[in-house]
Amino acid sequence: MSAQQLADRALINLGRGLKENGYRFITPTPLTHERVLGRQASALAQDLRDVFGWSMPFDADLLPAALREELLQAEVVEKHDSLWRSAVRWSSLDDLLFAHSAYPTTQSDAVFFGPDSYRFAQVIEAHLQQRFEPVRRAVDIGCGAGVGALVIARVRHDAQVLAVDINPRALRMTAVNAELAGLGNVTAYHSDVLASVEGEFDLIVANPPYMNDDRQRAYRHGGGALGEQLSVRIASESLRRLALGGSLVLYTGVAIVAGEDPFLAAIKPLVGSDAFGWTYRELDPDVFGEELAKPGYERVERIAVVALTVTRLR
């Protein structure tokens, strides 16, 4: 077994240990996280949620010996004199537990999990409840921590589910999270959108980044003038890869300018033929309002999160 495989095994065991200890953490927005930390009386973690949810520094003796050993073997601990800090964070989604990057997610290859992850999962679950056709082959584009892939795999056990990303750290987290969940029908695969995978799919899901990020972090930067470019590209490339009766479920954010939705304007020509049936919903009209104070957003009046569902009819 390679060093990487040993580290991954330790990370899986760490997740199992947390579940056995009753760990549960619902991850808020980064701004909420910052505010909660700002009112803490102590800068040191007091329990497992402080360590692995709030990403607080801790005295090594705080952890049970077994968890401390797994953290070391997984090579996801930062040491600063006598204090430690976990480089991974663990978030709960129903009965699933997801490993991803610790707060704050400043690294260019950080793997993010937050409120968008919960909304994305809800959109996929709602679609699967309404879909009675079999899902033989599915793909989660830009999988990150693997939320889309795992949600599909646990509902449709017979499906072959691919989780693709250009970020090696994301692929590692997805593979770890899938094994921790006991889902053997998920495969993590390096691909720029669908460039490295072949064939058609019964279900394609994606939660692409949709911000204009000056640091161009992979989980956050969507490209284009206001972060819309990658979402449009995923929609365009996915429509060509849908099997008959197959669907694309795309959750993303849109910077609204003067009351106009630029993503919807770009999508309409792609889905306008009678080959597709589609729906478009604004799920939340106003998220991440703090972004409007940043350069590039001077003309943006709000950021909305939306769900696009497209089904190939012929």
Q: What is the pLDDT of residues 179-198, one digit of tens each?
A: 999 999 999 999 999 999 99
Q: What is the pLDDT of residue 268?
A: 96
Q: What is the pLDDT of residue 64?
A: 92
Q: Residue 274 — φ and ψ, nearest 5°?
A: -80, 5
Residues 22 and 165 occupy one common structural domain: no
CATH at residue 265: 3.40.50.150
| Residue 107 located in a structural domain | no
| Residue 284 located in a structural domain | yes
Residues 297 and 191 occupy one common structural domain: yes
What is d(CA 209, CA 214) in angstroms, rounded to the nearest whole number?
A: 13
Q: Residue 48 — φ and ψ, nearest 5°?
A: -65, -35
The amino acid at residue 47 is D
The amino acid at residue 136 is R
Read off the pLDDT band of 58 (50, 70, 90).
Answer: very high
* CB atoms inside a 10 Å sphere around CB 248: 25
Q: Is the pLDDT of residue 221 over 80?
A: no
**How much is the average pLDDT of 1-6?**
88
Residues 89 and 160 occupy one common structural domain: no
Of 66, 101, 136, the domain-final residue: 101
Containing structural domain, residue 75: 3-101
| Residue 56 located in a structural domain | yes
Residues 85 and 134 occupy one common structural domain: no
Residues 293 and 242 occupy one common structural domain: yes
| Residue 239 located in a structural domain | yes
Measuring CA to CA, which residue among 132, 129, 141, 130 is closest to residue 242?
141
Residues 67 and 159 occupy one common structural domain: no
Q: What are the tokens at 256?
A: 């609204």
Q: What is the pLDDT of residue 226?
A: 80
Domain count, the chain: 2
Q: Give the CA dihedral 125, 127, 129, 131, nearest 10 degrees.
A: -140
Q: Please tell me whether residue 96 adopts helix, strand or coil conformation.
A: strand
Q: What is the pLDDT of residues 15-32, one digit of tens each?
A: 999 999 999 999 999 999
Q: What are the tokens at 175?
A: 């593979």
Residues 190 and 92 occupy one common structural domain: no
**How much is the average pLDDT of 74-80?**
92
Residue 248 host element (H or E): strand 242-257
What is d(CA 313, CA 290) in angstroms, rounded to the nearest whole number?
A: 40
Q: What is the pLDDT of residues 146-187, one digit of tens each?
A: 999 999 999 999 999 999 999 999 999 999 999 999 999 999
What is d(CA 75, CA 169) in angstroms, rounded to the nearest whole number?
A: 13
Residues 273 and 173 occupy one common structural domain: yes
Q: What is the pLDDT of residues 257-297, one digit of tens each?
A: 999 999 999 999 999 899 999 999 999 999 999 999 988 89
The pTM assigned to this predicted structure is 0.95
